[in-house]
Structure formats: structure tokens, C-alpha cells
Chain A
């Protein structure tokens, strides 16, 4: 395994992490399941690729343009679907994701089903890492503010949140729009890493994979999303030697982990300096009485 290969997987983990962070806000913290986030990634990918190739926009602004385009799509979709309850919203997002893919399949300007080749490969490990770090910090800051608390309140008990004066629709929209921005930027990064964009890259399986990562990491945990995105991007690569059986083993492993840890890897908890020192104390504290008993 050479460095080029490993850094490639790391970049893909970073790109997945970007979308998963946004999805984590929507699913883990606001309690809305989405099976259409690949659609937002597709919008980000195509718009930012067009921006760099056709309009000559520099890389970072192009990513932002892609993100903003995804945000606008989210605003439109949200207005139509956010009043739907639970599963119905989920189905609506599924339809949205597929619709975006089919629309892209048929737009000749974007190359139709053949896709958009020759996108400059600007994405490197360094800029993915920097963008991811900023994205994590921004997400943590949003969650640990009154806006984040309101979203969590909606996840916990929607009726009670209304009665304490939270505009449920507004906060659901805010959550969806922010998660679309993240997905859009991730899509842009992906297009500029692979050098091409094809509608088939943004199939429903991609959306499902993203949601699986969020649930796998633990709903309501940013640390869980980070760990989940890295682990589940590496896993299929580690299983490459199994060739045909790769996805079977991947699926079986995910199911196994879900059965043994239904609350997800982190179970809604976060890594923090306080938590780590407490865990260390717990381990050392447990050993102490035994030593005392010995002496």
C-alpha cells in the first residue's frame, strides 16, 4: 500500500465526513431522517465544477457557490416537505435525491448520463483537512448555542418545543439548509478530486451510505460522525482482497455493530478533554482499592 492510495482513501473519508457532519445536524440533532443527501452533493459537484471550468472561478469560492446552490435547493424542498411528519419527510427526500439524479441524466449541458469530464483536480489532502477542521468547529459551535439546543428540543419533543416558543418549522429549515450547504461543499470537493462528475455517483445507495454512517457513529454525536466517516470509508478498502464478497462482509459487519451497539459507536456522547480525564481517573481509581487491599 503506497501513500498515494492511502491519501486517496483519507481524502474520500474527509469528503464523506463533510456530508456526514451536515447530515448529523439534521438526523442526529434535529431528528429528521434524509435519504436524499446525495442529491445535494450532486448539485454542489456540478455547480462548482461548472464554476471552475466555465466561469473561471477560483477553487474555494467555487466550492462555496456549489454549497450555496445546494442551500437554495434545500430552501425550496424544505418549504414543500418540512411540514410532513416523520416517515413522510423521509420518503420525500428519497424522491428528491432520485429526481436530481434523473434531471442531471437528461441535461446535455452537463454531459447527460456520460457525466462531466476534465474537471481540474484541485482537491488535496491538505485542503480537505483544513475544510474539515473548520467544518467540525463551526458545527460544534452551532450545536452548543441556543440554536443548537432548540434543534435538540425539537428532536426530543416537538409539541413541548412549540409550547416553549420555538418556531419548529424555522429551526427544521435552518437545520436542513445548513446540512445542504455541507453536502454541497462535499460534492464540490469530490468532483475536484475525481476529475469528473457523473449522475450515477449520486445514487440512492450513496444517500443510504451517508445515513448509515451517521447512525453507525451514534445519533447526536459529532465525534461519532467523525469516527464513523473514517471507519466506514476505510472498511470497504480493507476488504478489497475479498473481491466479490466485499460488500457482503461490509453489510454483515455494519449489522453486527448495530446489534451489539444499537445506540451507535459513541451513543450520543462526545470526546472531550474532561471526559477523557474522567475515563482515565475511572480506570486508575478502580485499580487503587485493589492495591490498597494488597498492602
Chain B
């Protein structure tokens, strides 16, 4: 059964079609790549899935359940979470508190219980702290736990955003350019990390990226967008050989050079 399925998804801003008639299915446990030149509508698709934008046409379903008329936080509670292209951390909070805050769904004590502080509160808070510790250690952020998020190096901020997303126990993780601003070495490490968390948490991953090494190395299947319109879909080797994709990225080869 497909985890996420988009059927004829269209988003128009006034007269501009940002995303036009996009359909694809993502299978369980897959790492699915979404690529395309700048302005192709990749991030718009993420915003549509997480209900930050509303659909103009089409439908999106998650494990067969339609995601229409839901608020972003409800989508998150269903098990879809994401990272942002322009990092959105809780900047003034420490690394630790960023992840601890995101763990909130693993506890269910009420407001009254947090004032009285007996029973459920103590037990659940302990669990939340334990979970935060595990996640930070897994992502290699434990040494930075007391650092203010805004002061972390760029690469670590990206990692922290992934850690914060994992705190929700998601089933589907959307990564928006996770390797932006990373050097080649860090990119390779990130590739390993994405595979590792996929296996460890039983995740399905949808990833937008411009680093072709990362996309080709880690993805099981790739979907290519150009100006909001689907261009090609297939395995990394199929995409690498696809003429239209090369054209979209590098431009058309001139037919014949005029000979003088």
C-alpha cells in the first residue's frame, strides 16, 4: 500500500500555476527524490502536503486517508512532518529544548497535572527527557545540547531540524534541501544518516535536493518537476539517462552549428 499518494494535484496562485497536475505514489520504506530546477514548485508540493497551502485541485492521501480540510498540526499528528529550506528552529532555545519541545506528543498530562506535579507528570517528563537524549545522541548533537540553536554551525542546525522532526515519531519525513550549505564530506555523512534513520525508525522519506550525488546515491525512485509540470519519473539510472531531464537542467543542445 502506498504511504502517500498525490492525484492530479494542482496549485494556482492567481493566474500562475505553481504546480500543475502532479501525480505520484510513494511506497512504504522508500526514499523518494523530488528534483527540478529552481522555481519548479518542489517546496510548494511540500507546503501542500503539510496543509500550509490549500489545494486548488486534486487530492492527497496518506495511507489511503484523504488529507483535505486538515490543519497543519493535524497533519503532523497523523505522522507527516518536515524540515524547511530556510531553517526554522526555535532560535533562542537550546538544542536540547528544541528537541524536548517537539517530543510533546509522547506525553498526555494535562494543565492541572503540570501544576500539581504528581504521578503522571513526573513519569512522563522523565520519558520525554530520555527520548530527547537518545535522539540527540543518535544525531551527534549531544555535545552541543546546551548551545543556543541560532549559534550552532549551519550543518548542525540542519541536523537539529531533522532531530526535531524525528521527535514526533513520524511515518513520513519530508526533507527540504537537507544538504544545502554542506560540504561534500558532510553530504556523504548525511546520506548515510538518512538511510540509518529510515531503517531505524521504519520511515518513508521524501526528499528535495539539488546535490545530485546525494539524490542519485540515496533515492530509490526520483520524480522530476519543471515549471510545475511533471517531467519524468523513475529510478536514478533511468533519470540520469533521460534526455528531457538533461535538457531541463542544462538547456537544449543546438541542432546544428552553422558552418561558415
> A149 vs B96: C-alpha distance in the bound complex, in angstroms?
12
Interface residues of A in 152-200 (CB under 8 A from B): 152-153, 156-157, 159-160, 162-168, 174
- Whether the pair A142, B102 counts as a contact (CB closer than 8 A) is no
Contacts of A162 in B (CB 8 A): 52, 71-73, 76
> A165 vs B52: C-alpha distance in the bound complex, in angstroms?
13
Contacts of B50 in A (CB 8 A): 163
Judged by DSSP, the binding face of A is: helix
- Whether the pair B90, A165 counts as a contact (CB closer than 8 A) is no
- Whether the pair B76, A160 counts as a contact (CB closer than 8 A) is no
B18 close to A (CB within 8 Å): no
A145 close to B (CB within 8 Å): yes
Q: How many residues belonging to A are interface residues under a CB distance threshold of 8 Å?
A: 25
A141 and B73 contact, Cβ closer than 8 Å, known pairs A146-B109, A153-B90, A156-B92: no
> Which of A141, A150, A159, A174 contacts B115 (CB under 8 A)?
A141
> Which of B90, B92, B125 contacts A160 (CB under 8 A)?
B90
- Whether the pair A147, B92 counts as a contact (CB closer than 8 A) is no
Interface residues of B in 181-221 (CB under 8 A from A): none
Contacts of B100 in A (CB 8 A): 149
Interface size class of B (residues with CB under 8 A): 35 or more
- Whether the pair B105, A156 counts as a contact (CB closer than 8 A) is no
> A159 vs B87: C-alpha distance in the bound complex, in angstroms?
11
Contacts of A145 in B (CB 8 A): 109, 111, 114, 121, 125
Contacts of A157 in B (CB 8 A): 88-91
* B residues adjacent to A (C-beta < 8 A): 50, 52, 71-73, 76-77, 81-82, 84, 88-93, 97, 100-102, 104-105, 107, 109, 111, 114-115, 117, 121, 125, 128, 164-165, 167-168
* A residues adjacent to B (C-beta < 8 A): 138, 141-142, 144-150, 152-153, 156-157, 159-160, 162-168, 174, 268
In the complex, besides A148-B114, A163-B50, A165-B77, 13 extra interface pairs with C-beta distance below 8 angstroms are A144-B114, A146-B104, A146-B109, A146-B125, A150-B104, A152-B101, A157-B90, A160-B88, A162-B76, A164-B167, A165-B81, A165-B168, A167-B71
